[in-house]
Amino acid sequence: MYRQSGESSIPLSNVNYQQAPGGQNTPAFGSVHEKNYASPKPKRRVWPWIVAAIVAVIIILGAVLGGVLGSRAANDNDNSKSNAAQDGAAQTGSGVASAATRTKGSGNLAIVPTATDQFGNPMYPSSTGSARISSPTTVANSSLSCTADDAGSLSLTSPKTSHPLLIATENKWACLPGLIQSDSYLSYWNDTVFRNASRFYDMTPTNYSIDGGLTGSGVLDVAREVQLRIKHWAYAYKLSNDTKWVDRTWQELVVAAGNDTNQYFGEQGDNWNSGHFLDVAEFTEAFAIAYDWMFDAWTADQRNAIAWSIINLGLQYGLNAYTDTSVGYRWWTTVRGNWNCVCNKGLTMGALAIINEYPNSPARELLTYTVDNANAMCAYAPSPEGTWSETPNYWYFGTYSHAEMAASLLTATGSTQGLLTTNPGVKLTSLYHMYVVGQQGIFSYGDAGPNKYTATANHLMFYGSQFDEPLYTLYQRDRGDAPDPMSILYYDPQVSGQFWDGLALDRHFDNTTDGWFSARSSWTDNDGAYIAMKAGYLQGHQTHGDLDAGTFVLDAMGHRWAGELGSGDYLSQGYFSSEAQNSPRWLYYRKRTEGQNTLMIGDEDQNVDGRPTTAFGSSNEAQDALDYKVANGSTAFFTADLTPMYNSTSSANRAIRFVNGRKQVLLRDEVTTTAAVQWRMHTNATVALSNSDRTATLTIGDETLVATLRSPSGATFGTEDAQRMPSDPTTTMYDGATVTMSEDQPNPGVTVLTIDVAAGTNTIEVLFNPQWSGWSESDFVNPPDVAIADWSVTSHN
Ligand SMILES: *[C@@H]1O[C@H](CO)[C@@H](O)[C@H](O)[C@H]1NC(C)=O
Ligand SMILES: *[C@@H]1O[C@H](CO)[C@@H](O)[C@H](O)[C@H]1NC(C)=O
Ligand SMILES: *[C@@H]1O[C@H](CO)[C@@H](O)[C@H](O)[C@H]1NC(C)=O
Ligand SMILES: *[C@@H]1O[C@H](CO)[C@@H](O)[C@H](O)[C@H]1NC(C)=O
Ligand SMILES: *[C@@H]1O[C@H](CO)[C@@H](O)[C@H](O)[C@H]1NC(C)=O
Ligand SMILES: *[C@@H]1O[C@H](CO)[C@@H](O)[C@H](O)[C@H]1NC(C)=O
Ligand SMILES: *[C@@H]1O[C@H](CO)[C@@H](O)[C@H](O)[C@H]1NC(C)=O
Ligand SMILES: *[C@@H]1O[C@H](CO)[C@@H](O)[C@H](O)[C@H]1NC(C)=O
Ligand SMILES: *[C@@H]1O[C@H](CO)[C@@H](O)[C@H](O)[C@H]1NC(C)=O
Ligand SMILES: *[C@@H]1O[C@H](CO)[C@@H](O)[C@H](O)[C@H]1NC(C)=O
């Protein structure tokens, strides 16, 4: 989340955060307020990465509870007497239900999860009971829908004049209580949002705390936390008319405007930190929602006060970014990634909120820039196949903002202004998310990003409605992060069916920029098998990628057996310099080729200029039952020509597939090299070698997976610690200077399973046999030895 350009030559430790960035750009509207702060300016504070990790754990725990409560609420709303038994089961939180079904408005019986697991995956009952299985559909029902807004006279230059106009109009707010009464998901989310709103109500106003310097992660967490609270309170106000939510919001706004003399909140006049523009954008959105959703509750003075911050701390900086080429904080206007979406979203929502009452503010002019720019940049962050330009985790930040911007434009201007249609890949980016999430979490290649707060996947429900893809809505509504004010506004209760019914198990995202695939045994059995592999160009990812062509993950039996190491320390020296071969970023183990589940040749990193090509085959199954079992011949495979990624290599091909009805996984490499090759796989399992080191037994908890080295005959498995080799460089010549790396992060509990082969022509083949419960030796197959060129759907039967 750092600035990607123009900043790389400034060592972070030298940034003088007290100097207002862009000091020449004094906000033009209104006057900069003068206040004496009682509290001293904070010292630059570097938060240890561990804090983020702890917060992440808390969020994950929360998701589990949310899921359990969710099942209770969903069942509570059940009108069907035949479901009394599972209501009781779910209420105990035991997660046991014989057939969690409920009546829906459409008259269909639906299957609801009994809980969600630590990854937010829904846990479904083991049988469908009497529920009717049907593929995703939308069943028109006037008592489950709101009358459409009259958008006839609206346009970007003539937006809606009455409030609220962001994301939901008064029409929608007035209709919501009825929908909540009729739909169990909405009623559960509404309860949860009120409960969280109350929890936030009792907290002291969000403190200003800088993460890694103002141009590091700045105050982004602070901004998103303020926004999270305000979304909850504004929602609670709209549903209850209780002004206690308005009063509490005011308290938060005064602090976040930098106006509370007892609580320091940033540099006067630039309190929202233009040096890390995401912060400006997220604060602007928070204030815009407070202003707009609570418009009728504010006094005229309060409206002026809120608008003052939106304009002076937000929009004016946004206008500068577009019109003043000398400001450094404008760099995001040229990138196809999450920054562009977040920044344009915040500015657009801020502008729309106040445009009618403040016609002389920068709002009108700014909208002419943000909409065009987002259409040219943000909307193209997904590739034509839907793959997000950065990483699967950055998808959250980019798309939740893209959707909020589109949803706000829709209600305020009568149209999403092209944001959904300019790039056909936008429609497919929901599939990117669904397929990149495995049984045991995300295929989390590259950097994982900061805390999510407001960045959920709930806008899948907005995309579902807009693209008429009820699949997206049905998928997301059962997931752990679903209870959220935005879900309530985006969700269309007219959807019906099961997301997984008719959904292909496998998918190839075929592009040389980001070629990858995912394949699974089931969408609903979280103990099933999942494999995913990527092989793409290593540049063009906003410096969030790794040198990882050929890397893969493998889930089975409720565990991840081959996994990713995730982010390094974002504050490390040169971490975000660039994606060039000599970038200091590649000094760090987690970013180097050796830190991935792929081949390392000649102990070197992969070539950043290489463009691997990929191919794919699948038996093309789609799940059609909750307890779906694939046929024995069911498979999917992915092959990658990695030759261009390596020096000293005349050919390097890699291929992975399911065999034996997706119960076993085969990984094959065919290499011809003039340097030694090392095969590497990172695992949290404990590893025991046997059979002259040609068998590796991996153990996690009570489960084991046996990896067998089938080829070459002379090779053996080895194990190493997940840390840099002594011969790795610690410095690099970059930008005319020698850059020395900071410390690497340890990878406790991670073992690298290795296979070393000498230069020459070699086939390295490993068979992974998860020891499924109830399986014996004779259930496993020994697939035939097939050259990658001859792999087909049936080649290993
Ligand atoms: C809302 O509350 C639920 C539990 O009641 C929790 O799991 C969830 O994390 C909370 N959401 C937020 C955004 O804090
Ligand atoms: C429409 O939804 C309402 C409210 O849930 C329900 O009572 C009704 O049966 C539904 N109508 C049809 C035709 O499905
Ligand atoms: C939403 O939840 C709150 C808190 O549980 C409840 O008081 C309110 O009645 C709910 N709204 C509707 C429309 O059911
Ligand atoms: C903010 O800081 C004050 C003073 O250190 C502390 O009392 C308060 O609990 C903090 N609030 C939050 C939300 O962390
Ligand atoms: C809140 O006020 C609106 C507008 O006056 C009204 O339509 C709605 O019924 C009220 N809601 C509650 C829960 O009182
Ligand atoms: C914050 O201070 C500015 C400058 O004095 C003032 O114009 C604005 O109304 C204040 N805003 C709030 C929310 O207190
Ligand atoms: C691959 O994705 C990139 C990045 O989105 C895009 O520019 C390019 O057109 C795509 N290539 C193909 C062959 O679709
Ligand atoms: C180890 O487990 C952690 C926590 O679940 C996970 O984030 C990580 O990806 C795993 N590492 C490997 C190498 O599987
Ligand atoms: C591969 O060789 C080329 C030409 O010598 C060199 O520029 C490049 O840096 C090498 N790649 C790696 C990863 O060392
Ligand atoms: C599928 O394979 C399993 C295990 O190898 C075997 O027990 C079963 O009979 C096979 N089923 C069919 C339909 O071939």
Q: Which homologous superfamily is 34-494 in? A: Chondroitin AC/alginate lyase (1.50.10.100)
Q: Encode 67-103 in three state secondary structure.
A: HHHHHHHHHHCCCCHHHHHHHHHHHCCCCCCCCCEEE
Beta-carbon-side half-sphere exposure of residue 501 (alpha carbons within 13 Å): 17
DSSP 63: H
DSSP 625: S
**Residue 75 predicted with pLDDT over 90:** no
Ligand 9 centroid vs 760 CA: distance in angstroms? 20
Task: List pLDDT tens digits, range 321-331.
Answer: 999 999 999 99
Where do the domains of the chain lie? 34-494, 514-790
Q: Is the CB of 632 under 6 A from ligand 10?
A: yes
DSSP 762: E
**Contacts (Cβ under 8 Å, ≥6 apart) of 730:** 587, 740, 741
Q: Is the CB of 725 under 6 A from ligand 4?
A: no
pLDDT averaged over the chain?
Answer: 88
Ligand 9 centroid vs 507 CA: distance in angstroms? 33
d(CA 290, CA 298): 10
Using CB distances shorter than 6 Å, the residues near ligand 8 are 560, 563-564, 682-684, 750
Is 722:682 a contact under the CB 8 Å cutoff? yes
Predicted confidence at residue 216, as pLDDT, reads: 85
Ligand 3 centroid vs 529 CA: distance in angstroms? 40
**Residue 685 predicted with pLDDT over 80:** yes
Q: How confident is the model at residue 18 (pLDDT cuts 50, 70, 90)?
A: very low
**The pair of three-digit structure tokens given for residue 472, joined into one six-digit string:** 């997206």
Q: Is the CB of 263 under 6 A from ligand 4?
A: no
- Please indicate whether residue 215 or residue 295 has the higher confidence score (pLDDT): 295
* Nearest protein Cα to ligand 6, atom 6: 305
Ligand 1 mutation target, pool 55, 196, 198, 458, most atoms within 8 A of CB: 196
Centroid of chain to Cα 513: 19
Q: Is the CB of 33 under 6 A from ligand 6?
A: yes
DSSP lists the bridge partners of residue 770 as: 705
**Residue 52 predicted with pLDDT over 90:** no
pLDDT, average across residues 152-163? 96
Q: Is the CB of 797 under 6 A from ligand 10?
A: no
- Following CA atoms 554, 558, 563, 569 in sequence, which dihedral angle do they give, to the nearest 10 degrees? 160
Helix, strand, coil share (%) of the chain residues, nearest 5:
35, 20, 50
Ligand 5 centroid vs 242 CA: distance in angstroms? 10
Is 648:723 a contact under the CB 8 Å cutoff? no
d(CA 673, CA 601): 8
Ligand 9 mutation target, pool 538, 546, 548, 581, most atoms within 8 A of CB: 581
Task: List pLDDT tens digits, range 522-540.
Answer: 999 999 999 999 999 999 9
**Residue 440 predicted with pLDDT over 90:** yes
**Residue 612 predicted with pLDDT over 50:** yes
Q: In this structure, what are the phi and psi dihedrals at residue 307, rounded to the nearest 5 degrees?
A: -60, -35
Q: In this structure, what are the phi and psi dihedrals at residue 615, rounded to the nearest 5 degrees?
A: -140, 170
Predicted confidence at residue 109, as pLDDT, reads: 57
Q: pLDDT above 90 covers what percent of the chain? A: 83
Ligand 10 centroid vs 633 CA: distance in angstroms? 9
Q: Is the CB of 642 under 6 A from ligand 6?
A: no
Using CB distances shorter than 6 Å, the residues near ligand 9 are 581, 604-605, 607, 647
- Please indicate whether residue 100 or residue 383 has the higher confidence score (pLDDT): 383
Task: List pLDDT tens digits, range 399-413.
Answer: 999 999 999 999 999
Q: In this structure, what are the phi and psi dihedrals at residue 68, rounded to the nearest 5 degrees?
A: -65, -45
Q: Is the CB of 147 under 6 A from ligand 5?
A: no
Lowest mean pLDDT among 108-117, 612-621, 680-689, 764-773: 108-117
d(CA 258, CA 255): 5
d(CA 63, CA 84): 25
d(CA 111, CA 132): 9
Ligand 2 centroid vs 462 CA: distance in angstroms? 22
d(CA 795, CA 666): 12
Task: Check if CATH label 2.70.98.70 holds for domain 514-790.
Answer: yes
The full DSSP string for 245-288 is HHHHHHHHHHHHTT--TTS--SSTT-TT-TTSHHHHHHHHHHHH
* Nearest protein Cα to ligand 5, atom 13: 240
Predicted confidence at residue 112, as pLDDT, reads: 83
The ligand whose atoms approach the alpha carbon of 775 most closely is: 10
Exposed, middle or buried: residue 295 (CB in 10 Å: 0-12, 13-18, 19+)? middle
Ligand 9 centroid vs 724 CA: distance in angstroms? 19
Predicted confidence at residue 754, as pLDDT, reads: 98
**The pair of three-digit structure tokens given for residue 560, joined into one six-digit string:** 């991840």
d(CA 682, CA 564): 7
The reply to whether domains 34-494 and 514-790 share a CATH topology is no
Ligand 3 centroid vs 177 CA: distance in angstroms? 8
Lowest mean pLDDT among 53-67, 254-268, 648-662: 53-67
Q: Which atom of ligand 5 is nearest to the CA of 238?
A: 1
Is 323:314 a contact under the CB 8 Å cutoff? no
Predicted confidence at residue 590, as pLDDT, reads: 98
**Which of 408, 387, 380 has its CA nearest to residue 490?**
408
- Please indicate whether residue 5 or residue 701 has the higher confidence score (pLDDT): 701
Is 67:120 a contact under the CB 8 Å cutoff? yes
Q: Is the CB of 779 under 6 A from ligand 10?
A: yes
Sequence letter at residue 776: S
Ligand 4 mutation target, pool 207, 208, 221, 248, most atoms within 8 A of CB: 207
**Which of 408, 411, 423, 328 has its CA nearest to residue 370?**
408
Sheet architecture: strand order including 516-520: 507-509, 516-520, 530-534, 552-556, 559-562
Q: Which atom of ligand 8 is nearest to the CA of 564?
A: 9
Predicted confidence at residue 84, as pLDDT, reads: 26
**Residue 354 predicted with pLDDT over 50:** yes
Using CB distances shorter than 6 Å, the residues near ligand 2 are 105-107, 141, 143-144, 182
Task: List pLDDT tens digits, range 184-200.
Answer: 999 999 999 999 999 99
Task: List pLDDT tens digits, range 77-113.
Answer: 332 322 222 222 222 222 222 223 343 344 445 778 8
Ligand 7 centroid vs 512 CA: distance in angstroms? 7
* Nearest protein Cα to ligand 2, atom 9: 105
- Following CA atoms 477, 483, 486, 489 in sequence, which dihedral angle do they give, to the nearest 10 degrees? 70
**Residue 76 predicted with pLDDT over 70:** no
d(CA 358, CA 40): 34
The ligand whose atoms approach the alpha carbon of 232 most closely is: 1
Ligand 5 mutation target, pool 241, 244, 246, 294, most atoms within 8 A of CB: 241
Q: How confident is the model at residue 555 (pLDDT cuts 50, 70, 90)?
A: very high
d(CA 57, CA 577): 29
- Please indicate whether residue 254 or residue 78 has the higher confidence score (pLDDT): 254
- DSSP, collapsed to helix, strand or coil, labels residue 205 as coil
d(CA 154, CA 13): 49
* Nearest protein Cα to ligand 10, atom 12: 632
Per-position b or e across 404-426, b if 16+ CB within 10 A of its CB: bbbbbbbbbbbebbbbbebbebb
* Nearest protein Cα to ligand 1, atom 14: 196
Q: Is the CB of 180 under 6 A from ligand 3?
A: yes
Ligand 9 centroid vs 1 CA: distance in angstroms? 29
